[in-house]
Amino acid sequence: MKRALLLVDHGSRREEARAVLDSVAAFVRERSGLIVHAAHLEAAPPTIAEGFEACVRDGAEEVLVHPYFLMPGRHAALDIPARVREAAGRHPGVSWRVTVPLGFHEKIAEVVLERIQQQQEVPCAI
């Protein structure tokens, strides 16, 4: 069965924020060999429906959706599955499931240590 991965983050009006998900998609595509598309829950296109559609257009028979969120909050547990269900309704032959979000992982906590060691200050406009 041909599978695709749809990565879904929160979405932002800031281009540098959206670029993060594109980098993750490129990395995961390279490592997994899967069809990988990215979408945003809100604030910017592509929407989840558009991302799902892109997976189907690439021939996916199953779409695995990963909520690219740090926490198992409302967005990952409810909002994303609801939108995916709606999008999938337009593609009856395609199965789908939603994975757990990132959650706690030592690798992510190690990135905190790297960031505080770098001690880069955020450009602060206030």
Give the Cβ contact number of residue 97 at 10 Å: 11
Among 2, 42, 78, 90, binds a second copy (CB under 8 A): 78
Residue 76 burial (10 A CB sphere; 0-12, 13-18, 19+):
buried
Q: Which stretch binds a second copy (CB under 8 A): 46-54, 87-95, 107-115?
A: 107-115
Strands 35-40 and 3-9: parallel
64 binds a second copy (CB under 8 A): yes
User: Closer to a second copy at the Cβ: 20 or 91?
Assistant: 20
Determine if 46 is a binding residue for a second copy (CB under 8 A): no
